[in-house]
Amino acid sequence: MTTLRPARLRPGWLAAGFGAVLVALVAGVALGPVTLPPGSVAAELLNLIPGVDLPSGLNEREIAIITELRLPRVVLGLLVGAMLSLAGGCYQGVFRNPLADPYLLGVAAGAGLGATMAIAFRAGAVLPLAAFAGAGIAVVVTYLLGVAGGRDRSSATLILAGVAVSSFLAAIQTYLLQRNVDTIREVYSWLLGRLATNGWHEVTLLLPYAVVTTVVVLALRRELDVLSVGDTEAASLGLHPQRSRMILLAAASLGTAAAVAVSGLIGFVGIIVPHVVRLLAGGSYRSILPLSLLFGAAFLALADLAARTLIAPGELPIGVVTAFFGAPFFILVLRSTRRVSV
């Protein structure tokens, strides 16, 4: 008989998550073509807090590098990584599938198609809404094809449904690009993933959606633990399974769509981070979701640091860096779940 696991989030893991974010923040701002002392960078970051005035020893040019160039990009990386990881953990709980991920479920492809349509039709102002609409349609179709099939559903069925939906949406996207050749370069750069910023514009665009997603998903994280024992048991405990799933799916898709809209397609973050967190801190979503949020933010900020420093002065697409780690990791997860019945 399956039982609930009342594991709670341990303060030590929470402190480790915040520590990882701070390390990624300082390292991401300090390292680059012009390397700045980490201690001075930390002091300058603290000076952004009202009422704090610490001597950093940096000149005006170096302070401008921090506040106008690197900090917006690092903060954007933190937000995107947090959203993709949180959404990945949420999808895994909703579908009770360890392979669920915004990209494997077709959610990112749907958001990508919506964003491509907005770019192709010169409607950049509604790009986040277009991405969210595409993500919502994709996750509903994948759910209907892969999960609502009854007792024969399995991890492979859901993933295959996601792959099929992704391929179909990619075909539509390709058709649109061929009909709008003048936008191919812009969209192609976006498809490879990017965290290049124009000041704080992308951060302010993503932040409201990130706040809503975080509040809703974390508020319902205990319901994911209840859903893990099965719909019948969850209903006997007073939960409305389908209503909870719809709310969680909508919130996760909103976060994914907003992240994809500003950063393009950055794969594997949503599967790597929740799995590592699950291995380290246990299987309760009370721990998985908040820790995925923190460690996902740190992971993508550090991945972006690697992308812009490994071949300096050139820069790798960040999607290449995450795929380098994510593809082997996905194979390991796939092998470990072959005998698991979901």
Is residue 328 within a helix (H) or strand (E), and if so which, with residue range?
Answer: helix 318-336
Long-range contacts of range 328-334, CB-CB < 8 Å, 24 or more positions apart?
329/268, 329/271, 329/272, 329/275, 330/99, 330/268, 330/271, 333/98, 333/99, 333/271, 333/275, 334/99
Helices vs strands, H then E, count in the chain: 15, 0
Q: How far apart are CA 304 and CA 308, in angstroms?
A: 6
Residue 245: per-residue pLDDT = 85
Residues written for the chain: 342
Q: How far apart are CA 269 and CA 85, in angstroms?
A: 6
Stretches in the chain below the pLDDT threshold 50: 1-3, 340-342
Residue 306: per-residue pLDDT = 92
Residue 324: per-residue pLDDT = 84
- Is the full-model pTM beyond 0.95? no
Residue 105: per-residue pLDDT = 77
Residue entry with tokens 């992704």: 166
Residue entry with tokens 């990508």: 112
Residue 264: per-residue pLDDT = 79
